[in-house]
Structure 1
Amino acid sequence: MRAPEFWTTPPDRPAWQARALQPLGALYARATRKRVADGAPVDPGVPVICAGNLNAGGTGKTPTVIWLVEALRKMHHTPHVISRGYGGSETGPLQVDPRKHGPDRVGDEPLLLASFAEVWVSRDRAAGARAAVAAGATVLVLDDGFQDPGLAKDLSLVVVDAAQGFGNGRCIPAGPLREPVAEGLSRASAVLSIGDAEAQEQFAEIWGDTIPCPHVTAELQPLQTGMDWDGLKVVAFAGIGQPRKFFDTLRGLGADLVATHPLDDHQPLAAALLTRMEAQAFAMGAQLVCTEKDAARLPHSWRSRVITLPVRLNVHGAEALTQMIAEAAPLAPKVQVRK
């Protein structure tokens, strides 16, 4: 499902659809408010860091989780990731094993994250947390779950796409939000906006005055793999929140995008679809290219036939965010590394 266009209109100039759906949006906001207020958060006994959002859909949480995991490892932590496993059938708690589990069971994001840390899929995040702690986690990274009151959180990052911001500022279905901006940010430890300089400037202009907590900026950058993209003919496909950004990244590397296929977020990669795109690439003398998250959904027989472009999060002024993490997740004495 693609987000409707009226979700992206400026907050001060809402489309007529947003105005008409505002009563339903208010009901959605009320339901979220009640769920959060009525929760009884469980303390799992280790620090919990949440990478969540206010917007429905992709905002950059997965690369943020990867960055958090790597930062925590540098602090000598043993981080485990807790995910609901969107798109998968497992209810868990289940520790993800890429050798045994496919995206139909655990979802594509947990499979990707399992390359960086131990990952648990659990619809009940508190149960997943208990399983992870029993397996040796010294800190938990919650992939999404900002509005889930099941776990006590020590640090909550609200991740937002700087170019999109908080959309038209209204709640589903009148806009893209799970809860009103002011209410959500009142529980946030920090806002992490992801985008280039132009997008960051736009975000700050529209939303800067509404942010009551520290604001950290970051940008997604291609990982240097030695691949020469300059002039390479590419048929690119992406089933992520913002496919256009992936295509723009390829163009920025010098690739010649002869065709692009923006897919729905988490869209299954059926053999028929892949075969059509491969035939198109062959006819145009091009190479099929996708994101890391899409690669996690590829059938095994296709993984050698599609090039993957990985991206990583570059946090501007990372020291400030690292300090916040260190304060929220101090290394317990029993696992401190001896000098």
Structure 2
Amino acid sequence: MRAPGFWHEKPGLISALLAPLGALYALGTRRRLAKGPRIRADVPVICVGNINAGGTGKTPTAIALAQRLIARGLKPHAVTRGYGGSLAGPVQVDPQTHSAVEVGDEALLLAAFLPVWVAADRAKGANAAVAAEADVILLDDGFQNPALAYDLSLIVVDAWRGFGNGCVIPAGPLREPVRAGLSRADLLLSIGSQQAQTRFHESWGAAINGMPHATGTLVPLPTGLPMQNLRVLAFAGIGHPEKFFQTLKGMGAEILATHALADHQPLSDALMHRLLREAREKGAQVVTTEKDAVRLSASLRPQVMTIPVRLELDDWTPLDEALDRVLPQISPAPSA
């Protein structure tokens, strides 16, 4: 399912009518988080989470953080529930044998950069990672899960969308109220252009209330084919497909058609053959995101161009200082 449009508008009649259900959802989150004690792993745990439902940039953040930790000489492993996958785990993801149907697309994408464990029980996943000689754990999307204690928590938010209408599911996009979520976090990371960052600060600066705040953008990597004036048919099944389409425009592509799919939507052969046929009729190249590409069947993947993106922070200092507090034994962070 795609997020309702009113989630990202000023609160109105629909959100007001749904507010009582949102209050119940928030109460459930608060009660779940109050359960304890959390299990503490034998190594530091860094949680990369959000308070919004849907995509905010957690996966690129986890990749960037993994690369930062590896550059410090550490051996990070990721632990994730494997959203959209069928395996409960704990199981280490093998990109050669596992499919997105089994472990989820995010886990498959992360596994290209560091060892990844899919585990419905995050604590068991962390124990498996430690047994496999991880010396730091990246907990992917565990901010509202009380099973595992973490030493550092990062909240990731899309700077343009911010926290939507500020209401809790189903009245809005939030898993918990903004102030409640931020009060439990160590660092806020907003991702977007300078214009988006300005919009975010104007809308939510008061809620941040002086907490450590890093900003960054998702930058597309060069592709093997020049993008300037390339005629493309673009599809994306991510939290905010329009952001991907804007990225393509920024790269100079001529977009002939776009297809915004539901987040994590299965890419059946029937759907892909339809998109490929439409592209042939339009004389266009089919393009998609890195996260969508891992859900393609092996036979269709060569026919679809993938546009990978990487997170670049405007200033690594807030994050590096947070890492230094959690991991005092490591050497100083590499220069950006």
Instruction: Report the alpha carbon displacement of residue 331 of structure 1 after superposing the two structures with TM.
Output: 4.1
CA distance, structure 2, for counterparts of residue 294 and residue 73 of structure 1: 26
Instruction: Find runs of 4+ consecutive structure 1 residues off by over 3 angstroms.
Output: 330-333
Kindly state the Cα deviation for residue 326 of structure 1 after the two structures are TM-superposed: 2.5
Matched residue, 1:189: 186
Determine if the alignment matches structure 1 residue 150 to structure 2 residue 133. Answer: no
Matches within 5 A, 1:147-186: 147-186=144-183
Retained in 2: the 8 A contact 1:236–1:288?
A: yes
Equivalent residue letter for 1:31: G
* AA matched with 2:30: R
Percent pairwise identity: 56
Structure 1 distance, partners of 2:328, 2:75, is 12
**Alpha-carbon distance in structure 2 between the residues aligned to 1:224 and 1:233:** 17
Deviation at 1:224, TM superposition (A): 2.3
Distance 1:4 1:319 in 2: 36
* SS of equivalent residue, structure 1 residue 203: helix
Structure 1 residue aligned with 2:40, among 39, 43, 66?
Answer: 43
Q: Is the 8 A contact 1:48 1:329 kept in 2?
A: no
| Match in the other structure for 2:96 | 99
Which among 287, 293, 296 is matched to residue 295 of structure 1? 293
Question: Aligned residue for 1:326?
Answer: 324
Q: Check whether the contact 1:77–1:331 (CA below 8 A) recurs between aligned residues.
A: no
Structure 1: runs of 5 or more not aligned: 334-339
**CA offsets, 1:292-328, max 9 Å, x none?**
0011000000111111000000111113312211321
> Match for residue 334 of structure 2?
none
Partner in structure 2 of residue 309 of structure 1: 307
The Cα of 1:232 is off from its aligned counterpart by: 0.7
Letter matched to residue 91 of structure 1 = A
- Correspondence for 2:82: 85
Question: How many residue pairs align between the two structures?
Answer: 330
TM-score (norm 1): 0.95
Structure 1 residue 16 corresponds to structure 2 residue 13: yes
Structure 2 match to 1:255? 253
Q: Distance in 1 between matches of 2:277 and 2:239?
A: 26
| Corresponding residue number in structure 2 for 1:60 | 57
Say if 2:213 and 2:318, in contact at 8 Å, map to a contact too.
Answer: no
The TM-score, its normalising length taken from structure 2, stands at: 0.96
Q: For 1:297 and 1:101, locate their aligned partners in 2 and report how far apart those are by CA, in whole Å.
A: 11
1:211-242 CA distance string (max 9 Å, x none): 14111111111012453101111011100001
Letter in 2 for 1:165: G
The CA distance in 1 between the partners of 2:235 and 2:324, in whole Å, is 38
Whether contact under 8 Å (2:47, 2:141) holds in the other structure is yes
Partner of 1:6: 6
Task: Decide whether the 8 Å contact of 2:287 with 2:304 is kept in 1.
Answer: yes
